Amino acid sequence: MTLHLGRHVFEPSARLVMAIVNRTPDSFYDKGATWATDAAKDRVRQVADEGAEIVDIGGIKAAPGAEIDAEEEMRRVVDFVAWTRSEFPDLIISVDTWRAQVARAVAQEGADLINDAWGGADPELSSVAAEFGIALVVTHTGGVTPRTRPFRMEYDDVVADILESVVGQAERAVALGVERERILIDPAHDFGKNTWHSLEATRRLGELVATGWPVLVSLSNKDFVGESLDRPVGERLIGTLATTAISAWLGAQVYRVHEVAETRQVLDMVSTIAGDRRPARTVRGLQ
């Protein structure tokens, strides 16, 4: 199916970059580099210039930490969404939240997409997406509580569990009124999973693609990359890009990332090899 985000429509062959913009002082990767408003604005300008189609604005880090209530989360993201919408009318704005209250506030300021990274922990979130006619990402977390780390998670078949969860959430969202073309499914690497689980989800990503729902992957600098290569957070780019290329070949459509320019090149190369994009120039052997 085609994917509808805001007023944009994308064919299944499109490979889109979703740039992470953290409005937090304690994010695991950038350590609060875009906590200050001016720095966050510069980040949006940079990623737009580098070719990101989507920005994903988040007000709470995923890992355990200080309690952030809905009011504080909204203080971090709502005005910033409004600024981004005003300054970048063609940019697709996503907000990373599991709270319906926050989703409603950012939808009123022009957000196009709600990225629910915690697997429907707030059952009202889909209703908000339906009310405002915006898009929704549904994820698999194995039922873990938001902002907790997985511990000894076990699945008879992790991909079967992913499929049951995300397809069920997607169909529930449709039943509540979210347009089918505005729903993405995400296996949620690392969330509710150990490294073996995330690796298997990557190998079998084609099974998610085969459902017909557009697939989003959030691979950037994740622990399963670091453990696979024995690399700390700041040294996981090469492993992330390798996983990105494989995921693109298997059919994932949206990539939530920290490094936009590098990811854009990888996705463009995969698209060119697949025949979905023409080379930028072809003079070799002709001059």
The catalytic position among 104, 222, 236, 264 is: 222
Place of tokens 């990101």: 52
> Is 256 a catalytic site residue?
yes
Q: Please give the Cα distance from 91 to 80 (Å, whole number).
A: 14
For the chain, the C-alpha Rg in angstroms (whole number) is 18
User: What residue spans of the chain are helical by DSSP H?
Assistant: 37-49, 70-87, 100-108, 125-132, 158-176, 195-203, 205-209, 223-229, 237-250, 260-274
User: For residue 221, is it left (φ>0), alpha (ψ between -120 and 50) or beta?
Assistant: left
Q: Is 236 noted as a catalytic residue in this protein? A: no
SS (H, E, C) 199-258: HHHHHCHHHHHCCCCCEEEECCCCHHHHHHHCCCHHHCHHHHHHHHHHHHHHCCCEEEEC
Here the contacts of 37-43 (C-beta below 8 Å, separation 24 or greater) are: 37/80, 40/80, 41/83, 41/87, 43/19
Q: Is 90 exposed, middle or buried (0-12, 13-18, 19+ CB in 10 A)?
A: exposed
Contact predicate 1/181, CB 8 Å: yes
Cα-based distances in Å from 69 to 74, 97, 112: 9, 12, 23
Q: Which of 256, 277, 281, 284 is the catalytic position?
A: 256
Q: Which residues are marked as active site?
A: 222, 256
